[in-house]
Amino acid sequence: MAVAAPLNVDLHCHSSFSDGVLAPEALAQRACKQGVQVWSLTDHDELGGLGPAAKAAADHGLLFIPGVEISVSWARQTVHIVGLNIDPENAGLVNALNELRGWRESRARDMGDKLATLGFDGCYEGALTYADNPQLLSRTHFARYMVSRGWFKTMQEVFDRYLGDGKPGNVPTRWASLEDAVGWIQAAGGMAVIAHPGRYKFDDTQFDALYGVFRDAGGQGIEVVTGSHRPDQYATYAQIAKHYGFKASRGSDFHSPDESPVDLGALPPLPQGLKPVWADWV
Ligand code: AMP
Ligand code: MN
Ligand code: MN
Ligand code: MN
C-alpha cells in the first residue's frame, strides 16, 4: 500500500509588507509552484499583506492561514512569536502592532546615526529606498543597502559584523512583552508559536523559563523544521516539543529568492511523533 505524502505546509515567510522582497501575490504564486498546499504569510509586526495574500492564495488553490511574526523582548534578547490563524481585523491586535511599528522609526534613525559614526553614511535614507512599507523599516533593509554600497559581500557579513544583536551598529530595542504578544494572538483567535528557537542564545535554564512562561501565557506551538534552523536542530526541537507538550510547526522563513537559503515548501517534513500546529485547520 502506498503511503500518502505528507501535506506540504509552510507557515512562515515574509513579503514586501515587511522585510521580504516579493509582494504577497508573487509569494502565493511561488508557494504554489513549489508545491505548498497550506500556506501562511507571517510578516514582522504587520498585517497589511494578509488581504492580498488570502486572495492570491485562493486563486492558486492554497489553503491560507493568516499569520504574523511579533517582535518580543525577553531576558535581554529579541524573541519572535508567530501568531497563526489570527483574525487580521481584530482591533486589539491591529492597534498593538501599530504601536510596535511606531518604535521602528526612531530606532531606524538612531541606527543610521550610529552607522554614520562607524563610517557608513546615508544608511537611514538608503534603507528606506529598500522598504516598500516605510512603517516597517527593518535591519534587513539596512543590510541590503550596505551590501549595495559594496561595503560588504553578503548580508550575513553585515549582521555578523555590525547589525546582529550586540554588534556595534545595532540599536537595542524594547519590543512587546512575551505575555502581551501571546495575549494579542489569542484574543485574535490565533495560536502562538515560538519562532526558530535555535537562533536564541539562552542557556538551558533560560530556555526552560522561556518555555514555561510562554506555555503559562497560553502559547501552544514551537517551530521545529524552519529555514532558520540547521538540519541537526530539527531533532533537538522535536524533543523539546514533546517534552513541553508543544505542537510543532514547519516554515521556510523565506525572505527573498536571492537571499534565503531555503525556498518556500522545500524543507523536510516534521519528524515523526509530533502534533502539527495545523492539525485542526486542514
Ligand atoms: P528587525 O526586526 O528590524 O530587528 O530585523 C530582524 C530581521 O533581520 C530578521 O527577521 C531577519 O530577517 C534579519 N536578521 C536578523 N539577524 C540576522 C542574522 N544574524 N543574519 C541574517 N539576517 C538576520
Ligand atoms: Mn525578517
Ligand atoms: Mn524571525
Ligand atoms: Mn521570519
- Look at ligand 1, atom 12, and give the residue with the nearest C-alpha: 140
- Does the Cβ of 44 fall within 6 Å of ligand 1? yes
- Does the Cβ of 156 fall within 6 Å of ligand 1? yes
CA of residue 141 to ligand 4 center, whole Å: 14
Give the pLDDT of residue 1: 63
Q: pLDDT tens digits for 130-145?
A: 999 999 999 999 999 9
- Whole-number CA gyration radius for the chain: 18
Question: Which of 97, 111, 139 to probe ligand 1 with, by most ligand atoms within 8 A of CB?
Answer: 139
Q: Which residues contact 273 (CB under 8 A, 6 or more apart)?
A: 238, 242
Mean per-residue pLDDT over the chain, rounded: 97
3-state helix, strand, coil in the chain (%, to 5): 40, 15, 45
Mean pLDDT over 69-76 rounds to: 97
- Starting from the CA of residue 68, give the closest ligand: 4
The Cα 178–Cα 185 span in angstroms is 11
Predicted TM-score (pTM) of this structure: 0.97
Backbone angles phi, psi at 134, to 5 degrees: -65, -15
Q: How confident is the model at residue 4 (pLDDT cuts 50, 70, 90)?
A: confident
Q: pLDDT tens digits for 144-184?
A: 999 999 999 999 999 999 999 999 999 999 999 999 999 99
The Cα 108–Cα 144 span in angstroms is 14
